[in-house]
Amino acid sequence: MIFARKSHLKPRVTDLRTLCEDTLSILKRTLGANCRIRTEFGDPLRPVLVDPVQLQSALMNLALNARDAMDGRGELLVSVANVTIDDTYMAQETDMEPGEYVRLSVSDDGAGMSIEAQRRAFEPFFTTKADSGGTGLGLAMVYGFVRQSGGHITLYSELGHGTSFGLYFPAMAASIDTEDDNQAGRVRPPSPQGKGKTVLVVEDNPKVRKLSIARIRDLGFDTKEAVSGDDAYALLCDGARVDIVFSDLVMPGTLNGYDLAARVASEFPGTKVLLTSGYASDVVTGAMAVGQEHQILHKPYSQSDLAQRYQALLAEDGED
């Protein structure tokens, strides 16, 4: 009934931070001492209208799935933040209407999910844990609850690196005066003009790569593309002239995003690098960094976020 979005919910005005803190205090003993829990809570968070019992159940379900994926040992990140879906690209990437949301993210650094498992993750009775008693109803129930609450759910995972679920709930509308004040104080950074500069987009997912190229071209840049870190490095070694390498973190092949960034810094010092990741936090990719420090543009990101990052990169060389 929950999956079919026909269950009887009892929504109340809810502070997700308080609810998550209460739920995690219960979960700590269940998850075990070898499963570390880290939290990142935005402040202040906007209230949402949800059934707190069902939300607590959803968070528990995701946390227990994460424990199983990590084989009882690893790091679980639970984060809550206000999110604005404010442009066509973000709406297309997340399949949701523009507006104000509160996002609850649950990320782990476990085994990750195959493409097939991701595609069927929310199907009732689909499970990869049939041998250990899995019913295949947990994620289906989470999906049904979120959708019935007027929200959306996203899934990002890579085999061997971990999984991140994002639960988006519509934020309750602020008063008219507050909303007007927020709009008045929101200054969007001007889009940089590419002025003939070229960005090399490195992304193995064809759909995401196509969307990224469209975004970057709208900012006035020329683009080149590569399907992996190895492919991108080969293009650079063959003499491809690019000003910025825009690369995903987790890719097939020898070079991940951090590895590619290190080679670019060493062998092509005039080329800037911007990394991006679909994970909610570096909890699932920190082991890849091998001592490197890079700012990560987390997906989904707005066009204004992308423009601002490119402006900052160009400003390092004194560009306007």
- CA gap 268, 282 in Å, rounded: 26
* Number of alpha helices (DSSP H) and beta strands (DSSP E) in the chain: 10, 12
> What average pLDDT does the structure give for the chain?
84
How wide is the angle at C-alpha 89 spanned by C-alphas 253 and 295, nearest 5°? 50
pTM for this entry: 0.79
Model confidence band, residue 88 (pLDDT cutoffs 50, 70, 90): confident
246-285 core/surface letters (b: 16 or more CB in 10 A; e: else): bbbbbbeeebbbbbbbbbbeeebeebbbbbbbbbbbbbbb
Using one digit for the tens of pLDDT, what is the confidence trace for 217-274?
Answer: 999 999 999 999 999 999 999 999 999 999 998 888 999 898 999 999 999 999 999 9
The residue among 73, 143, 63, 58 whose CA lies nearest residue 110 is: 73
Name the residue with tokens 């709406």. 91
- CA gap 6, 12 in Å, rounded: 18
Name the residue with tokens 């007027």. 150
Name the least confident of 12-26, 92-106, 174-188, 242-256. 174-188
Task: Find out whether 118 and 152 touch, Cβ atoms under 8 Å.
Answer: no
Fold (topology level) of 12-177: Heat Shock Protein 90 (3.30.565)
The residue among 274, 196, 271, 199 whose CA lies nearest residue 237 is: 271
Q: Does domain 198-315 have CATH number 1.10.540.10?
A: no
- CA gap 284, 162 in Å, rounded: 6
Model confidence band, residue 94 (pLDDT cutoffs 50, 70, 90): confident
- Give pLDDT, residue 138: 79
Domain boundaries defined on the chain = 12-177, 198-315
- CA gap 7, 275 in Å, rounded: 42
Residues facing 170 on adjacent strands: 101
Task: Find out whether 194 and 320 touch, Cβ atoms under 8 Å.
Answer: no
- CA gap 320, 314 in Å, rounded: 7
